[in-house]
Amino acid sequence: MAVRFDHFVLTVASIEATCAFYRAALDARVVEFKGGRKALDFGGWKINLHRIGHEFEPKAATPTGGSGDFCVISDEPLDELIARLGELGIVIEEGPVPRTGANGPIVSVYFRDPDGNLVEVANPA
């Protein structure tokens, strides 16, 4: 039985732009590993990055930039996140709105990364 989430992969147009975005928006730590690959480390889980047309094997059957849609739980109050995103010029598409997370009620905000992936950041309600 699966016990926890470890990582997922985003296929992106620019590794550098993606790293800069997630570093600024979500305080990700950029790490480099085997073969010069890069990942966004969030302490306990990570997002591996593949550049469009230069994916690593094995990979999704049809890797496509901008097809991601995921939610992360944050301990940062959403009003602080919203203020920082505003300073960075990142548009909030929706929220704060109530939702249902894996462990119960959450309050979420939604925005997009440079490739158009939908990023949901939530606090437990």
Centre a 10 Å sphere on the Cβ of residue 83 and count the other Cβ atoms it contains.
11
Length of the chain in terms of residues written: 125
**CA-CA-CA-CA dihedral for 21, 46, 8, 110, to nearest 10:** -40
Residues known to be catalytic: 120
Amino acid at 11: T
CA angle at residue 57 from 52 to 60, to 5 degrees? 65
